[in-house]
A and B are shown apart, each in its own frame.
Chain A
Amino acid sequence: MAGSLRGAARQPVTPAERPRADRPAPDAGASERGAPGGLARAGSAAARLAGLLARRAVLLAVLLALVFGAVELLPGDAADATAERGESAADIEARRHLLGLDRPVLERFADWMAALPTGDLGTSARGESVAALLSTPFPNTLLLGGLALLVTVAVSLALGCWAALRPGGAVDRAVSGSATAVLAVPEFVVAVALVLVFSQWAGWLPAVTIADAAGTPASWDMLVLPVFALAIPQIGWNTRIVRAALADEATAPHVETAVIDGLPRHRVLSHHLLPGALPAIAAGLATSTGMLLGGAVVVETIFNYPGVGSVLAGAVTDRDGPLIAGVVALTGAVISGVLLLADLVRAKASGGRG
């Protein structure tokens, strides 16, 4: 079973997961480039990568087991949930048999897990393929979350560095203060504020996302407000992390030496401070991924964005456990991937020092 799970993490085959498939590759390449030397060094790097991968895969498998268990605890099952009016108990029983719901829990769980690597996420309460139901909305949500993550990375790095260049100055206090202020505000409150200002009053950007025939947002400007509604609290959060990580790193002896040597401040920042602060920053951004994907569910309902948020809203009304489990499996896989990248950054940083 473990083998198939590792497969699940390594080769995402669902169309829904495609945007993620090329992400681990560049970093894996970078980590090998970062380990100069012979085959032995490359071999140990590969072993370490495999170890990190296996660990993430096991953690993901445990989460999936928990989610499956939670869905199992639901009162009633998919056969009940989709029962039509006037259907006899025998009809429901027949459909339960058809959906395979009368088999033992462990057997169904094993089947569900074994099917995941092939892109089969099971069958929804309405008897449709979960993978097919999510094949358009999930990439849309990934697009939204991915863009928000990019904005978060760029803005929080810029603000954090700007504040760190003049510790204790007016800029530092303004940046740190506003970062603290926004980091705890729920996304839907930010979204309402953005809609009001940029859409209703200024009229610059659309408040509602309209999907084209392919089910994706019809134009790029529909993405701006949802992306910023998601990104702003995370920018606050990560700016603080960048600022704190840089401040921590500033006390390191090699940084003091660089300052005493009279290197320009921006060079100290880019060559001496940032590399050491990177693992903490990467870990902060990785935890933001979960927040972004969770927040996307909320923000999508405000902007009528065609992502998993609308699918989930329907799934909750229908008490469609398998569909929710499928969404959790996909988001869990994405978050695992990003956490793995953060693991690699950390491994590379500690490898470089050791």
Chain B
Amino acid sequence: MTVSARPTGPTHRPAPATRSGPGPWGVALRTAPALLLVALAVAGPWLAPHAVDAPVTAPYAEPGGDAALGGDQLGRDVLSRLLAGGRQLIGTSLLVALLVTGIAAVLGAVSALRPAVGRFVERAADVLMLLPAVLGILLISLSWPDGDRFAVVTAAVVLGVPYAIRLTAGAAAPIAASGYVEAATAGGEGLWHLVVREVLPNLRATLLALFGLRFVAAVYLVATAGFLQVGPQPPTADWALMIRENSAGILLNPWAVVAPSIAIGLLAMSVNLAAVALVPQAGRKAVTAL
């Protein structure tokens, strides 16, 4: 009854002829761009030719000479800020994806084993569906003014977990009903043992796929929060913040805006490509909690 845009759902359906899942090499090939980009962004600050917070040219200077991509609104080197500006976005997104996947794994297994918890989680997801994630982030960061990026992380986790639990609970349901779990229950094993030793080890593939999808959703949310100036504050080098700060000078030095836009766009696309490759079936909901 619950509206959820998950057309193929957790139950297996015959895969459409167009998309038989990629083989192991296919998966490696499709995850490579994302891994490369993440590695580049993490190493970026060390590769930057200039300091990110000191002017090297005139404001909005055109590319050339010392600054390969020109200057930003304060004359700082766009290339250096571009190289330095992805690490925090990716780090925060990874943290969100890890937390959401971890929490959803445990609570999903619990919901599959204890239907009352499962029903509560369903209702929570139904309620949070009414709150656009962007508004949720504004609300939480407003309630927690000094929270900085942790307010964003909290908001993204709170808003993402209920949807993720739907996925993990759906995948855990057949396992919870299986013979060996029943045997363990009959043997008097506690809930924690059932979750950690019996159910979760069998959810590895689902959890890996879920992690990819949550990372996609987190990149979207963290970047959007950065653009709304919730989270990283000037003079931090941050792709989303660069777009916001330099949009006034888009005609003078388009690269100050275009370069970080391309960076975020490429990151979102490559990560999504990787996440889709990790999902065993086609058409699974990719960006659930947005």
Q: Which residues of A contact B (CB under 8 A)?
A: 59-60, 62-63, 66-67, 70-71, 73-75, 167-168, 172-173, 176, 180-189, 192-193, 195-196, 200, 237, 240-241, 243-245, 247-248, 250-251, 280, 283-284, 286-287, 290-291, 293-295, 297-298, 301-302, 312-313, 316, 319, 321, 324, 327-328, 331-332, 335-336, 339, 342-343, 346
Kindly list 7 other residue pairs between chains A and B, CB separation below 8 angstroms, not including A184-B219, A189-B268, A297-B134. A70-B140, A185-B265, A185-B269, A192-B261, A200-B254, A286-B3, A294-B133
Chain A contacts for B219, CB-based, 8 A: 184
Contact pattern, B 211-234, Cβ under 8 Å of A = 1, otherwise 0: 000001001100110011010000
Cβ of A161 to closest chain B Cβ, rounded Å = 14
- For chain B, what secondary structure do more than half of its interface residues adopt (helix, strand, loop), or is it mixed? helix
Chain B contacts for A286, CB-based, 8 A: 3, 5
Q: B5 contacts A189, CB within 8 Å?
A: no
For B224, give its contact among A183, A186, A247 (CB under 8 Å).
Answer: A186
Which stretch (B21-29, B121-129, B194-202) binds chain A?
A: B121-129
- For chain A, what secondary structure do more than half of its interface residues adopt (helix, strand, loop), or is it mixed? helix
Please judge, given known A-B contacts A186-B268, A294-B135, whether A283 and B5 are in contact too, CB under 8 Å.
yes
Q: B223 contacts A331, CB within 8 Å?
A: no
Chain A contacts for B264, CB-based, 8 A: 185-186, 189
Chain B contacts for A172, CB-based, 8 A: 18
CA distance A298 to B145 in the complex (A): 20
Chain A contacts for B14, CB-based, 8 A: 251
CA distance A319 to B146 in the complex (A): 13
Chain A contacts for B143, CB-based, 8 A: 70-71, 73-74
For B17, give its contact among A168, A176, A331 (CB under 8 Å).
Answer: A168
A60, A248, A295, A332 pick with most chain B CB within 10 angstroms? A248
Asked if B139 is at the interface of the complex by the 8 Å CB criterion, the answer is yes
Cβ of A308 to closest chain B Cβ, rounded Å = 9
Q: A244 contacts B7, CB within 8 Å?
A: yes
Q: A184 contacts B247, CB within 8 Å?
A: no
Q: B268 contacts A192, CB within 8 Å?
A: no
Q: A74 contacts B142, CB within 8 Å?
A: yes
Chain A contacts for B230, CB-based, 8 A: 316
Chain B contacts for A250, CB-based, 8 A: 16
Q: A302 contacts B273, CB within 8 Å?
A: no
Asked if B91 is at the interface of the complex by the 8 Å CB criterion, the answer is no
Cβ of A225 to closest chain B Cβ, rounded Å = 14
Q: B7 contacts A181, CB within 8 Å?
A: no
Chain B contacts for A71, CB-based, 8 A: 139, 143
Q: A196 contacts B272, CB within 8 Å?
A: no
Chain A contacts for B18, CB-based, 8 A: 167-168, 172-173, 176, 247
Q: A241 contacts B268, CB within 8 Å?
A: no
Q: B5 contacts A184, CB within 8 Å?
A: no
